[in-house]
């Protein structure tokens, strides 16, 4: 059924096994720090041809108790059509309630000559000359007018040498790749202007530049994500699990920072869903209690460990992954795969437990986390 469409859209793939995944975790020797500092040239948009998704996402934790998100998604579908979207979200952390969600297709998309700047009708994203801050402006949707500045407080990083996990039976000639580039702790200023008034987002934030340089559902079947800020520390972690065609390999990257420096970063332990309950609408195992873990060596060679774990409270939101797909693709995927991909979002208060060279520190902060089920 729909075999022509399955091949065109890319719903099926041979079983290559885990040997066809070259994880970022193998790039550096285990006796050294497992990360590389980001430089401005590495933050340029790639603007690949062929099916891929590239995003720049800015997560905000305001001093007034609001959480927010601003995101630009640039994608190429089958190498024949490029699309861009501008997404923004406001969340009341105290009640775990989404207050506003806007997702708008963009027209007249342009990139600067050096691929650092992005613009479209009603949207701009510019990085500063010294590469230490971004300003994002958007008035494409009058329900949410955005003017936000992110200035990094610590170095940015990638796991390993370049952050890349590649896919292919010949490591010298990979046919796909994935990376995440992080600014784990930023100072945020600016606001959203909504129909209910202005929402000040002064506070902390994190920024991620992601590339899924292949068909996204071939690269990852499940995701876990966490970004956490407390007065003294920030933590960030991104994990994906490949589909069975790549052996259900688990790749997790992230790091821990103080207010001014990266303590540890690089490949990290797998996320654990300690307790789950089936979603009555689709039977996905919705997490109820989770553990995120970090470990590594700091610049002085001292061992650092950290955990965020416990009950995550009520679900803040459930997002339909296919909600913004072109209709014909959405119908094919739903019909053939017989599944409904969703992102489950939560925003509990949680305590970071940090151990540095045997000394234990605990500090409460704000967590924003996601668990995504695709196939």
Strand partners, 176: 167
Question: Has residue 4 been placed in a domain?
Answer: no
Strand partners, 310: 290
Contact 225, 308 (CB under 8 A): no
H or E element that contains 345: strand 342-346
What 3-state DSSP class applies to 288?
strand
Domain of residue 326, CATH code? 2.40.370.10
Lowest mean pLDDT among 54-68, 306-320, 333-347: 333-347
- Provide the pLDDT for residue 1: 28
Quick one: average pLDDT of 363-371? 98
pLDDT at 5 over 50: no
**Percent of the chain topping pLDDT 90:** 80
Residues with Cβ within 8 Å of 364's Cβ and at least 6 positions away in sequence, in order, are 230, 349, 350, 351, 352
Using 50, 70 and 90 to split pLDDT, how confident is the model at 332? Answer: very low
Whole-angstrom Cα distance, residue 265 to residue 35?
A: 6
Question: Has residue 106 been placed in a domain?
Answer: yes
Whole-angstrom Cα distance, residue 152 to residue 91?
A: 22
Whole-angstrom Cα distance, residue 58 to residue 368?
A: 12
| DSSP 8-state secondary structure symbol assigned to residue 291 | E
Whole-angstrom Cα distance, residue 341 to residue 62?
A: 30
Question: Has residue 51 been placed in a domain?
Answer: yes
Burial 222-259 (b: 16+ CB within 10 A, else e): bbbbbbbbbeebbbbbbbbbbbebbbebbbbbbbbbee
- Provide the pLDDT for residue 74: 95
pLDDT at 78 over 90: no
pLDDT at 307 over 70: yes
Question: Has residue 12 been placed in a domain?
Answer: no
Tally of CB atoms within 10 A around 367: 27
For residue 317 the two structure tokens come to 């939101």
What 3-state DSSP class applies to 78?
coil
Lowest mean pLDDT among 47-61, 88-102, 210-224, 286-300: 210-224
How far, CA to CA in Å, does 209 sit from each of 1, 2, 328? 37, 35, 28
Question: Has residue 17 been placed in a domain?
Answer: no
Tens-place pLDDT, residues 164-208: 999 999 999 999 999 999 999 999 999 999 999 999 999 999 999
For residue 44 the two structure tokens come to 């340029």
Domain residues for the domain of 166 are 34-373
Supply the mean pLDDT for the chain: 91
Question: Has residue 25 been placed in a domain?
Answer: no
Give 292 or 281, the one with higher predicted confidence.
Answer: 292
Question: Has residue 266 been placed in a domain?
Answer: yes
- Provide the pLDDT for residue 7: 35
How far, CA to CA in Å, does 109 sit from each of 45, 47, 69, 86, 117? 13, 11, 21, 11, 11
Count of domains observed in the chain? 1
Whole-angstrom Cα distance, residue 189 to residue 191?
A: 7
Question: Has residue 5 been placed in a domain?
Answer: no
Using 50, 70 and 90 to split pLDDT, how confident is the model at 12? Answer: low
Chain centroid to Cα 15, Å, comes to: 26
Q: What is the CA radius of gyration of the chain?
A: 20
In the chain, alpha helices (H) = 3-9, 216-219, 327-337
**Percent of the chain topping pLDDT 70:** 92
Through-space distance between the first and last CA atoms of the chain, rounded to whole angstroms:
19
> Phi and psi dihedrals of 124, rounded to 5?
-145, 145
């Amino acid at each position: 059924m729909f075999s022509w469409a399955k091949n065109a859209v890319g719903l099926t793939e041979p079983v290559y096994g885990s040997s066809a995944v070259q994880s970022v975790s193998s790039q550096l020797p285990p006796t050294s720090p497992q990360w590389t500092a980001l430089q401005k040239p590495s933050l340029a948009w790639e603007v690949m041809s062929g099916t891929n998704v590239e995003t720049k996402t800015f997560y905000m934790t305001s001093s007034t108790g609001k959480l927010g998100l601003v995101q630009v998604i640039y994608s190429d579908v089958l190498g024949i059509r490029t699309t861009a979207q501008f997404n923004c979200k406001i969340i009341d952390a105290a009640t775990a309630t989404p207050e506003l969600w806007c997702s708008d297709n963009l027209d007249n998309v342009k990139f600067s000559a050096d691929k650092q700047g992005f613009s479209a009708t009603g949207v701009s994203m510019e990085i500063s000359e010294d590469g230490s801050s971004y300003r994002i402006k958007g008035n494409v949707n009058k329900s949410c007018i955005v003017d936000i500045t992110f200035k990094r407080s610590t170095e940015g990083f990638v796991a390993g040498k370049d952050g890349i996990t590649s896919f292919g039976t010949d490591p010298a000639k990979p046919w796909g790749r994935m990376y995440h580039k992080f600014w784990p702790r930023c100072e945020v200023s600016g606001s959203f202007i909504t129909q209910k008034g202005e929402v000040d987002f002064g506070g902390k934030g994190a920024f991620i530049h992601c590339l899924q340089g292949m068909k996204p559902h071939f690269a990852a079947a499940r995701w876990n994500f966490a970004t956490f800020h407390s007065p003294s520390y920030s933590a960030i972690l991104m994990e994906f699990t490949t589909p069975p065609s790549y052996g259900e390999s688990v790749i997790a990257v992230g790091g821990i920072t103080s207010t001014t420096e990266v303590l540890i970063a690089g490949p990290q332990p797998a996320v654990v869903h300690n307790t789950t309950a089936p979603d009555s609408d689709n039977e996905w195992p919705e997490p109820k209690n989770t553990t995120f873990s970090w470990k590594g060596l700091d610049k002085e060679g001292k061992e650092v460990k950290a955990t965020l774990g416990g009950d995550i409270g009520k679900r803040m939101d459930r997002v339909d992954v296919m909600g913004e797909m072109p209709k014909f693709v959405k119908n094919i995927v739903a019909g053939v795969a017989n599944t409904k991909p969703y992102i489950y979002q939560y925003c509990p208060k949680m305590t970071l437990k940090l151990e540095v060279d045997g000394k234990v520190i605990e500090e409460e902060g704000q967590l924003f986390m996601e668990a995504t089920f695709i196939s």
